[in-house]
Amino acid sequence: MKKLLNTLYVTTPNAYISKDGQNIVVSVENEEVFRIPAINIQAINTFGYQGASPGVMKLCCDNGISLSFHTPKGRFIARIQGPTQGNILLRTRQFEFVKDKTLSLNVASLFIYGKLYNSRAILRRFLRDYPDPSNKDMILAVSERLRRQALKSLQADSHDNLRGLEGEGASDYFSVFDDLILHQKNDFKFDNRNRRPPTDYVNAMLSMGYSMLANDCAAALEGVGLDPAGGFMHALRPGRNSLALDLMEEMRGYIVDRFVLSMINTRQMTSSDFKIHTDTSSSLKPSVTFTENGLKKYLGAWQNRKKTEFMHPYLTERISIGLLPHVQALLLARYLRGDIDYYPVFLIK
């Protein structure tokens, strides 16, 4: 159990939520482990299949408390919201931002600033941990370019200009990504970012991580009442969760890139965890997918990684990495409602 920003996160998979008078009670195997007065919270996010009693659902509806259900892995299932505090005003405000280029650009620039800033932070941390790598001058040069691009993103005068800066920054960052791979260099060679399909082991791992992070962000946005399809930077398309893709930009490096590098450098993943598919009738490069065992290994390590706690720079509280998309979605919703003056983008410290 974790209470953040008046939201209760119930992360124990076998927890059951019920009511006792005007209190919300969390029990595990019929034993009470947590209780809080309903008046003290605004939302509950639960990650498990045990569920909640009809009584606590009514208590939440009567008190304007949003109750969201997610699977243990974070996929959104449903949300219960009473009639007194629907999310129509929040979503109306969201789509005002979507339609207004100035408003949407202001938020989109923060997402991209966070992505570029955090990409640079990963390179700077690498140089602190390994002060004299073979390609040090290039890494320093890319770090400096990322610093300038991050600052320019805050001053971007159009979405196209912002996308250009994001593209330049991503290209620069991935141009030295191979230097961050310290072991298994022959098997885990990284030349450039590619996808659909990935053509090497590193890109297969990155694509899987980005896909899961996008799903987590979509679930988090649903949980706070935002429409994951109504984005501010990524183009609106049927079937695309554009806002989830926006939100994940600031978290890509911290959650996915560092995870992939760790899995390779600690030899938790090896070449035997992948399959190479070659189409002899095509001139395209071979595509790469996980073996069944490799995918189980990757997903297991991913779920363990999400349990790792860190100090959130804005909340100044320790939270698990798996809750980061939910916290950022909640902060975004509060900014759109006008509860806070700015969106506190996640920055690696």
Q: What is the pLDDT along the chain (349 residues), one digit of tens a residue?
A: 666 667 788 878 789 999 999 999 999 988 999 999 998 887 888 888 888 999 999 998 888 788 888 887 667 788 786 654 556 788 899 999 999 999 999 999 999 999 999 999 999 999 999 988 888 999 999 999 999 999 999 999 999 999 999 999 999 999 999 999 999 988 999 988 888 888 899 999 999 899 889 988 998 998 888 999 999 988 778 878 899 999 999 999 999 999 999 999 999 999 999 988 886 555 567 888 888 888 888 988 998 898 899 999 999 999 999 999 999 999 999 999 999 999 999 999 8
Place of tokens 């920055």: 347
* Number of DSSP helices (H) and strands (E) in the chain, helices first: 10, 12
List the strands of the sheet with 76-80, edge to edge: 2-4, 7-10, 43-47, 66-70, 76-80
Give pLDDT, residue 139.
94
The structure tokens listed for 44 are 């509950």
In CATH terms, the superfamily for domain 2-86 is CRISPR-associated endonuclease Cas1, N-terminal domain (3.100.10.20)
Residue-wise DSSP of 161-185: HHHHHHHHHHHHHHHSGGGG--S-T
Half-sphere exposure in the Cβ direction for 291 (13 Å, CA): 10
Q: Which of 342, 72, 322 is nearest to 217 (CA)?
A: 322
Beta-carbon count within 10 A of 183 CB? 10
- For Cα atoms 73, 264, 178, give the angle at the middle one, nearest 5 degrees: 120
pLDDT attached to residue 120: 97
C-alpha neighbours within 13 Å on the C-beta side of residue 22: 7
Domain boundaries in the chain?
2-86, 91-337
In the prediction, which pLDDT does 236 show? 79
Structure tokens at 28: 């595990």
CA 191 and chain centroid, separation: 25
Q: Which pair of tokens denotes residue 21?
A: 């008078």
pTM: 0.80
pLDDT at position 84 is 45
Place of tokens 């299949």: 49
Q: Which letter does DSSP use for residue 40 in this model?
A: G
Q: Does the structural domain 91-337 have CATH classification 3.40.50.300? A: no
- For residue 287, which phi and psi values (nearest 5 degrees)? -100, 160
Residue written as token pair 């159009």:
158
Distance CA 240, CA 228 (A): 8
